[in-house]
Structure 1
Amino acid sequence: MREWWRDAVIYQIYPRSFQDDNGDGIGDLIGITRRLDHVASLGVDAIWLSPFFASPDKDMGYDVSDYTSVSPLFGTIEDFDALVTRAHDLGLKVIIDQVLSHTSDQHDWFLESKKGRTNPKADWYVWADPRLDGGPPNNWPSVFGGSAWMFSPLRRQYYLHNFLTSQPDLNFHNPAVVDALLGEMKFWLERGVDGFRLDTVNFYVHDAKLRDNPAAEYDDMPGHPYGAQIHMYSKSRPENLNVLRRLRALTDQYPDRMMIGEVGDDGIRQVELMAQYTSGSDKLHMAYSFALLSHDHTPDHFRRCIQGFMNEAPDGWPCWSFSNHDVQRHVTRWATAPTMQDTVAKQAINMLISFPGTLGIYQGEEVGQTETDIEFHELTDLGYIDFWPDNKGRDGCRTPMVWDADAPNAGFSEGDPWLPVKPPQAARAVAGQDAQNDSVLNTYRAALAYRKSRPELRLGDTTFPTLPDPLLAVSRTYEGICLTGVFNLSDTAQNIQLAEGAKATGPLSGEVTGSELILPAFGFAYVETTADTAAFA
């Protein structure tokens, strides 16, 4: 029997920004539950909830202080149970974030660990002696800038933090740490969650010898020092596979559950890791890629990412998305002018449904949401504040969901929202698009319905017919039928000659004149042929 997650479209909800129910300006679990009908109306299969656990919120919940408690900001455990029940009633699976590579420095485990070198949790985090000159033990950098090591006066040692100094890394070389984390995950499995999204899954295990990372090759110094190294020893270690096997053994005890891991690494290494982590049946069910979350909007880029994964992991499984809570929204990244934003949004979803694997959608994407311009005094994302304005951080993609342009804060909250709702974003509210047949919102619904109706898009083999730039073609073949999506990744119209017998079918942004397919700027079409017939002349 085919697993549900292989055909799934997963809708990511950022709880802080989805719907505020109690008027404090911060989204909550009750608010999410109230809006699940909208999510279900899109035709998605599952929701992924970013962290809602107890946390001091130095990194917006990705610094967990208690893995089995709901933060009062978001509600109660009873609110979570009600959310799961309602989601399941609507036919939606529930996936929750698990931030296992590190905790908050306010977690009880770390508070005990830092007291000294002989307490029961002394070895639960990555501690190391200073060099003779008092400096950190090696050259590993933090993703958020500076050294990945912070000195603790109590222990006279450094602890590892790959992210903020308030996010100390757990020591996965200690089996007791993995045992404890498995127990925390079991708590949520028993509450009926259908899967886990594993944050920074390739950061779990560090090099036990703490060897220096080698320098990367580059012509100009990267804008962020993290890019100046090959992160050979600080992450993506081969020992990580054994940890994944232990996590998989736990989830396999529960029917129909899954794990999707967030894999972030450099270039082709990311594809190789996705392949390693999803090959066979004893590790991750699928891997979530950063590969398509970039500014690269060229046919070659999409082909290389997808074909690279297919070549490296013929029995693995990917999850592709264009936006999430960590990157600039793709409409802003890819549109060559503001007038092109809706057109790019419509093309994006019709292109995404042509890709093999599981698909991910980030809240607001379905209304063509653009990046919010955040001013310095409005910043809340402290991780990148030192890089302002070259890197404006992640607040711009995390601003509240917009429901009704005529309501206060576009229907998100009656209170003062934690991030501002600005007019360009409010103008894209759900209510204004709901009844418009040609809106971005209804384009998303139609595209996802088309994917469900076409087994070629869910089950078919994948090839990439050769077309000249800026055209991308993705063919999906199943039981003698070939369905080819063709996409103009430019703001200039393109003409394509269809082969004899090829016919346009399904979503179409353009026109067919005789045997000529005319795609406008950022246009798209689907062409149907038999499996042994070419789509293009």
Structure 2
Amino acid sequence: MSSAWPPEGFVYGIDVARFQDSDGDGTGDLPGLETRLDHVAGLGAEWVWLLPIFPSLRRDNGYDVDDHESVDPRFGTLDDFASVIDACHRRGLRVMIDLIIHHTSERHRWFLEARQNPASDAGDYYVWADKPRDEAGDEPIFAGEEDSVWAFDPDAKAWYHHRFYGFQPDLNVTNDDVFDELVRIAKLWLDRGVDGFRIDAALPAMKAGPGETPADAAQFYRRLRARLSDARPDVVLAAEADAPPHELNSITAHEQVDAVVDFSLNNALFLALARGQAAPLYTALGQLDRSVQPSARLNFVRNVDELDLAQLTDAERQEVFDAFGDGPDDFIYGRGLRRGWRPLMGDERRFRMSLSLLFALPGVPLLMYGQELGVGDDPTAPGRDAARPVMQWRPARSGGFTTGESDLVLPAQRDGEFDFAHVNVRDESTDDASTLVLTRRVATLRARAGAATKPARPRILPHAPSVLALNLGGCLTLHNLGEAPAEVFEAYGAKPLLYERWNGHRLGPFGFAWFRS
């Protein structure tokens, strides 16, 4: 494991396009981001994860990458990127960017060369067929938006494979030339000051396509680690891997990657919240502990995609849908919910408890921009954009995000419960009861407890099944996942470091408390 991991702080994810616009063109940019880094550092973050910054038409929020080696001109220049890196490092922030190994866009120079001759060396960067080949389990990621994993290219007069959108042809990572290119790209960004990478779709990328021999994930990431460590011994690799714990073990057991973005614990958390019982979360923690050590787990409640519940059974998923979905427009791809974290929770008390719980769970917290404020969403926005608001800095027309007009500003951000007037950094910074202040407090408690390197011991209390008790480093934490009060005699009379709805022996509905253990 890299000496730079695990952090005492947490990881803060930023969509540059939606964070801060410096020039009034309606799109966030790198110079704008640089002006807001004091806010990020002040939260207690230790890592900044920048969502894709590469040239792209942004049909898939930048993951439809046209060029792995450059910065999208809308975001700025490579000099602007260098300035952001320097500014982060001066504040003690490390930076990770996405390493997109699963696919490119159809506009990428590799694909432009490949479509001229699919049988050429360049053609072998992708997966081609004379006609679509169906295989069990080989289905579109975006069910309902894509009908097939094959698209016909009229120039190549052949079909190419794509698990994501049709404009995102899959890379053949079993090809050594592709592997070498990915290593070259990663080293290029390391030379530019990046400290690590979030590897998008890390396990799906290992399967090249129907009939192809899949790459061995453990071997692939072991080789990647070795090659990148030659350039930067403390490089950090975090793999996005929506898979059960036993599959995650293949890439964490021998520290091929430093961390996995953990969907299984995320899914168990929502099932536990739906039931108002700690048992699903307790069981998931036990299963993870046998496969992936806590320091190698990157925990989140909501990212800026859909709430993907693929780890649950059909019946369990329906429980979560019933508890958190308001109607058919909330559901997406047959597996998830597209609402944002704060609106999903409904009750503000449940949201604040879940925010505290994120920082109490064994592992490293991942917080996306704006979640420290309790930002809302907009169900009228198409698809996953519903949960992708722009950052809300002050109570102004566009929340301080831009001085111009922006198509990225959601209508609900101008009017409603979570609009700029009600939810913004300026006002929350000085409000002791705000979500922003709570975020700073739980981040500080977690860091002081040494939670990054000390073991955690979860417990369910027999007389309070809605409460998850966690001994985390130097803290005992209690979180009531239910809407009824719960008696907790184990902490009777103890003086809490931080609490909401705790009276010395009872946790109120969605109450929580942190104690020195």
TM class by shorter chain equals 0.7 to 0.9
Q: Which residue of 1 aligns with 2:405?
A: 416
1:243 aligns with 2:243: no
Q: Which residue of 2 aligns with 1:532?
A: none
Closer, same or farther: CA 356–63 of 1 in aligned 2, 3 Å: same
Q: 1:458 aligns with which of 452, 457, 461?
A: 452
Q: Which residue of 2 aligns with 1:215?
A: none
* CA distance in 2 between partners of 1:367 and 1:162 (Å): 34
Superposed counterparts of 1:99-498, under 5 Å? 99-130=100-131, 135-138=132-135, 140-145=138-143, 146-206=147-207, 210=211, 239-253=216-230, 254-265=232-243, 270-281=244-255, 283-294=256-267, 295-296=270-271, 297=273, 298-314=277-293, 317-327=296-306, 328-335=339-346, 340-341=347-348, 343-370=349-376, 372-375=377-380, 378-379=381-382, 393-405=383-395, 407-419=396-408, 420=410, 421-423=413-415, 424-426=418-420, 427-455=422-450, 457-467=451-461, 468-476=464-472, 483-498=475-490
Matched residue type, 1:273: E
Matched residue type, 1:397: A
Closer, same or farther: CA 411–499 of 1 in aligned 2, 3 Å: closer
* CA distance in 1 between partners of 2:480 and 2:406 (Å): 38
Deviations for 1:246-270, whole angstroms, at most 9, x for unmatched residues? Answer: 22113312132201000023xxxx2
Q: Could you say what secondary structure the match of 2:465 adopts?
A: coil
Matched residue type, 2:370: G
Q: Which residue of 1 aligns with 2:511?
A: 523
Q: Could you say what secondary structure the match of 1:465 adopts?
A: strand
Closer, same or farther: CA 395–322 of 1 in aligned 2, 3 Å: same
Closer, same or farther: CA 2–399 of 1 in aligned 2, 3 Å: closer
Closer, same or farther: CA 209–399 of 1 in aligned 2, 3 Å: closer
Deviations for 1:357-383, whole angstroms, at most 9, x for unmatched residues? Answer: 22111111101122x2242xx53xxxx
Closer, same or farther: CA 208–65 of 1 in aligned 2, 3 Å: closer
Deviations for 1:166-223, whole angstroms, at most 9, x for unmatched residues? Answer: 0000111210011011111111000111100111111212266528xxxxxxxxxxxx
* CA distance in 1 between partners of 2:435 and 2:510 (Å): 14
Q: Cα distance, 1:305 vs. partner?
A: 2.7
Q: Cα distance, 1:13 vs. partner?
A: 0.3
Closer, same or farther: CA 248–411 of 1 in aligned 2, 3 Å: same
Q: Could you say what secondary structure the match of 2:452 adopts?
A: helix
Gaps of 5+ in 2: 307-338
Closer, same or farther: CA 351–117 of 1 in aligned 2, 3 Å: closer
Q: Which residue of 2 aligns with 1:3?
A: 3
* CA distance in 2 between partners of 1:60 and 1:351 (Å): 29
The answer to whether the 8 A contact 1:279-1:316 is kept is no
Q: How many residues align?
A: 465
Q: Which residue of 1 aligns with 2:501?
A: 510
The answer to whether the 8 A contact 2:173-2:215 is kept is no
Q: Which residue of 1 aligns with 2:44?
A: 43
The answer to whether the 8 A contact 2:6-2:453 is kept is no
Structure 1 length normalisation: TM-score? 0.82
* CA distance in 1 between partners of 2:293 and 2:89 (Å): 32
Closer, same or farther: CA 74–306 of 1 in aligned 2, 3 Å: same
* CA distance in 2 between partners of 1:189 and 1:497 (Å): 52
Segment of structure 1 superposing worse, 418-427 or 194-203 = 418-427
Gaps of 5+ in 1: 212-232, 380-392, 530-537
| Greater RCO structure (CA 8 Å; 6+ sep) | 2
* CA distance in 2 between partners of 1:136 and 1:321 (Å): 36
The answer to whether the 8 A contact 1:368-1:428 is kept is yes
